[in-house]
Amino acid sequence: MSGPETFVEGRREILRQASVALGGRPVTVWEVSAGAELEPQASSDPTPGYHDSKLDVDATLRHWGIHIVQGSRFVGARAGEGHWVVAPLRSRPPAPPPEGRERRSRERLTLELAGLCLGLLDRREVPATPFAKHADPLQDLATLPGIIAHEVSNPLTAARAGLQLAMEALGRWTEVAAARRLEMLDELGQVVDDIDRGINFLRAIKDRARGTLARSERFDAVRVVRSCCTLETRVLRDKKLPLEFDSTLDEVYLKGDPNALYDMLVNLVRNAADASAGRPAPIRVGLEQVGESLRLTVRDEGAGIRAEDLERIFEPGFTTKQFGEGSGMGLVVVQSVVRAMFGGSIQVDSRPGGGTTVTVNLPVPPQRSVDARRSGEPSAA
């Protein structure tokens, strides 16, 4: 066994030994993503629980004042309820303690040693590759998304400014009844919100192309889903397709990009609408909390998907739509958002002529208590 297999086996053994030294607690390696989140890369436990491997970067590294750089890695384990012990991966030992007096806990020393071993293993196994320079940035695919995002965001910003001027003029247009003016301003306001979401999405693409860490945020997922369904109801009105939203939840907070969740649901609803063309049955969106997961479902009674196609729906470029009607990237983006940003799962059940149900399960982090939110006290979420 050599090469990548040796590296994987060596990393697994280091994590296993660290877990044994910590009394069997799961030990995890994280890497800082482009979204400034700590994404689990490996664990001593083959099937770690969500709360044993999901590290809140705001409550740990940022709270401790640690400099966070995209691509940097950390190893850590739970030390108790709401507490973590974390150490960086490094290729040389840390500086000795002040005045030679060791104050680090046994758990921290164990993880420091594990981080040193993992860092040395990485340095030994990663091959050196020459850096290729490009005279033309268009030849570098890493910069191309940023260039496209820049060029598209400029006309969107101009369109938003023009739309706001039109709304101001409409507000002064007394020839139109006040009730009708309010209705039109509300509809135009929804368009402004859509443009803002598009601009924010393009800004995130530009940030990632520059290597900038885009901060995620704590947001109410119920509000985002409800807002999306309200707007999509109007969009589907022209197709004579009703949209029904079913949920008894008041609020559930997730950590990530609310625009990504919104766009993910838009993709699912419009896929359902395309599949339901010519069938007046409603598209149903459901939202419920099941244990420690937020379950989002999108159901249609459309044409359905053949079994042989169902196995390929998450392949980039694959689509069951007619030529020129689909890019084959919608469900790829949906799966990426569900897995990479929220650490969730997605399942698609369908049969020809029997409609399709897409089920998304998103892990719910610890929620702030109502009293803590009202008083402004800090808490775990």
Is there a single domain that holds both residue 275 and residue 161? no
Is there a single domain that holds both residue 289 and residue 253? yes
Is there a single domain that holds both residue 228 and residue 376? yes
3-class DSSP state of 27: coil
Which residue type, as a one-letter code, is found at position 186? Answer: D
Residues, the chain:
381
Task: Select from 109, 125, 141 the last residue of a domain.
Answer: 125
Q: How many domains does the chain have?
A: 3
Report how far apart, in Å, the C-alpha atoms of 75 and of each of 11, 26, 55, 79, 136 are.
11, 11, 11, 13, 39
Classify residue 338 as left (phi > 0), alpha (psi -120 to 50) or beta: alpha
Classify residue 376 as left (phi > 0), alpha (psi -120 to 50) or beta: left
**Chain centre to alpha carbon of residue 371:** 28
Domain CATH for 97: 3.30.450
DSSP assignment of 50-101: HHHH---TIIIIITTT----TT-EEEEEEEETTEEEEEE--SSPPPPPGGG-
Distance, CA of 171 to CA of 321 (rounded, Å): 42
Is there a single domain that holds both residue 240 and residue 194? no
Distance, CA of 343 to CA of 293 (rounded, Å): 11
Is there a single domain that holds both residue 254 and residue 371? yes
Q: CB under 8 Å to 364, separation ≥6 — which residues?
A: 252, 253, 254, 289, 292, 293, 294
pTM above 0.75, yes or no: no
Is there a single domain that holds both residue 347 and residue 314? yes
Task: Select from 187, 214, 241 the last residue of a domain.
Answer: 214
Is there a single domain that holds both residue 40 and residue 143? no
The single residue listed with the structure tokens 């949906």 is: 334
Is there a single domain that holds both residue 104 and residue 201? no
Is there a single domain that holds both residue 241 and residue 327? yes
Task: Select from 214, 235, 270 the last residue of a domain.
Answer: 214
Predicted local distance difference test score (pLDDT) of residue 283: 94
Domain CATH for 327: 3.30.565.10
Give 10-residue mean pLDDT values along the chain (381 residues). 63 88 90 77 83 80 76 86 84 72 80 88 53 40 51 66 80 84 84 76 56 66 91 81 93 89 89 83 94 95 85 74 56 85 91 91 83 43 41
Q: Read off the tokens for 139.
A: 């030849």
Is there a single domain that holds both residue 244 and residue 358? yes
Range of the domain at 356: 218-381
Is there a single domain that holds both residue 289 and residue 349? yes
Q: For residue 346, what are the β-bridge partners?
A: 360
Is there a single domain that holds both residue 225 and residue 318? yes
| Contact by Cβ (8 Å): 110, 149 | no
Q: Read off the tokens for 276.
A: 């339901």
